[in-house]
Amino acid sequence: MSEPGSAGKSITTWLEPLRSVLDPCRRVDWGRLTALGDALDQALANHPVGADLPAGAERSRRLRAVRRELAARGHSSGEPGLFQLLVQFVCGYSDIDLRDATGLGHGTLIARHGSPQTRERWLPRLGAGELAGIAITEPHGGSRPAETRTSAAVGEDGTWLVNGCKTWISRLTEATVFVVFFRAPDGQLVAAAVDAAQPGLRRRPIPPTGLAGWTWGVLELDAVRVHQEDVLHGDGMALLREHFAGYRPLVTATALGGAAAVFDTVAERLSARQTSGELARLRDSALISLGRAHVQLVTSLLGTVMAARFAEVGHVEAELWGAATKAHGIDTANSVVSDLALLLGASGFRADCQASKIRRDLSGLLFADGIHDSLYRTAGRHHTTSANPVVPAPRARLEPVSMTA
């Protein structure tokens, strides 16, 4: 397995058989999903990103070319809820590095909470294939965004000047806009859309173990100018909670797609070895591993669909389910893949083997978009306190931030 899995196959073998439970109200345009799968396969034929293509500038360029090509074919904008979740599964099946192949990604924050000027400035560019990054984590610990130290001071002309250091930032050199979280001059946590070309932004890339399609590392802000219209409407913590309630199911679906690709490879390899006579019979232990893996992946996907639906409708437990199903789904994907990888033998240990790459990428998702002990802790706290955390107020009720504070 050195090539990405076919997007079309992920739809026919994994999603179509579950159609009646995934989409009981027939909200998804399945013809459009199939068209997207075909377009993705075509874009990957034009810009191959097999596991034999190492991380680096060329890989990053091709991934962006895939995103732009899909955008040009009308598969750019993040459609709400279930459709985008299924797209993420399809993209993850092809390669987890394709997690930004379509959709607004973190640009959703701009779409939902940006001023008219900011939306007008960035949404057409994101829709045409550019990328949004997010900068929350700081060196003292990403699991505590309430303790954010990056802060703004009021400049001479009344605009804000933001200083601080963000770390472990993905899409470090690829993003054209970052949604940056910092303290407003009044101490309130806020977020703003910051042009990646702004003076005062300095980047220090760090080589990651996995998820290496995009560059990753430190983003320093030295008097980065933020205008009133750049500041997203609403309290930063509320924005974070609302955003990740919807974003985490997308990440989880991508991971489960990657694990499903490994499952198919292993099942096909074993079948081929048996058919050719190389193996007289398949051991029960291998069959048990496959049977267990399949049901684990499918039930995790169904849980993820539930979390996405909760986020879509603004359910009171959307944040909780987004966190818990992310931790559970990605733990499941990791354990399934490490279990099944043995059945590929030593060939599955080659660095240029797609299954090896999927393992490396999945390990990164244990940290990215919420580290798992923190996510399970959120769920545990919910089950043990009466004052349960709830999703933030709907957009209409979030107050604009004053620049003069």
Ligand X SMILES: Cc1cc2nc3c(=O)[nH]c(=O)nc-3n(C[C@H](O)[C@H](O)[C@H](O)COP(=O)(O)OP(=O)(O)OC[C@H]3O[C@@H](n4cnc5c(N)ncnc54)[C@H](O)[C@@H]3O)c2cc1C
Return residues touching ligand X (CB under 6 A). Answer: 133-137, 141-144, 168-170, 208, 211, 216, 364, 367-368, 371, 373-374
Comparison of 139 and 400: residue with beta carbon closer to ligand X: 139
φ, ψ of residue 182 in degrees (nearest 5): -160, 175
Comparison of 143 and 388: residue with beta carbon closer to ligand X: 143
Q: How far is the CB of 125 from ligand X (least distance, A)?
A: 19
Burial bucket for residue 74 (CB in 10 Å: 0-12, 13-18, 19+): exposed
DSSP-derived letter for residue 186 is T
The residue behind tokens 């409708």 is 313
Comparison of 136 and 398: residue with beta carbon closer to ligand X: 136
Comparison of 88 and 170: residue with beta carbon closer to ligand X: 170
CA nearest 101: which of 125, 119, 75? 75
Q: How far is the CB of 219 from ligand X (least distance, A)?
A: 9
Secondary element (H or E) of residue 137: none
- Distance, in Å, from the CA atom of 129 to the CA atom of 110, rounded to the nearest integer, reads 15
Q: How far is the CB of 112 from ligand X (least distance, A)?
A: 18
Secondary element (H or E) of residue 204: strand 201-205
Comparison of 44 and 169: residue with beta carbon closer to ligand X: 169
Q: How far is the CB of 377 from ligand X (least distance, A)?
A: 7
φ, ψ of residue 160 in degrees (nearest 5): -95, 145
Residue nearest to ligand X (CB): 142
Q: How far is the CB of 51 from ligand X (least distance, A)?
A: 17
Comparison of 134 and 231: residue with beta carbon closer to ligand X: 134
Tokens of 10: 């992920």
Comparison of 167 and 296: residue with beta carbon closer to ligand X: 167
- Distance, in Å, from the CA atom of 389 to the CA atom of 381, rounded to the nearest integer, reads 9
Comparison of 77 and 363: residue with beta carbon closer to ligand X: 363
Q: How far is the CB of 371 from ligand X (least distance, A)?
A: 4
Helix (H, G, I), strand (E, B) or coil at 164: strand
Comparison of 228 and 374: residue with beta carbon closer to ligand X: 374
Contact 187, 235 (CB under 8 A): no
Q: How far is the CB of 263 from ligand X (least distance, A)?
A: 23
Q: How far is the CB of 256 from ligand X (least distance, A)?
A: 17
Comparison of 117 and 143: residue with beta carbon closer to ligand X: 143
Q: How far is the CB of 361 from ligand X (least distance, A)?
A: 9
Element counts in the chain: helices (H) and strands (E):
12, 7
Report H helices in 276-371. 284-313, 318-341, 354-364
Q: How far is the CB of 31 from ligand X (least distance, A)?
A: 34
- Distance, in Å, from the CA atom of 392 to the CA atom of 238, rounded to the nearest integer, reads 5
- Distance, in Å, from the CA atom of 394 to the CA atom of 144, rounded to the nearest integer, reads 23
- Distance, in Å, from the CA atom of 122 to the CA atom of 133, rounded to the nearest integer, reads 12
Cβ neighbours, 10 Å, residue 383:
9
CA angle centred on 189, ends 184 and 190, rounded to 5°: 70
The residue behind tokens 């437990």 is 317
Secondary element (H or E) of residue 218: strand 216-226
Residues in the chain: 405
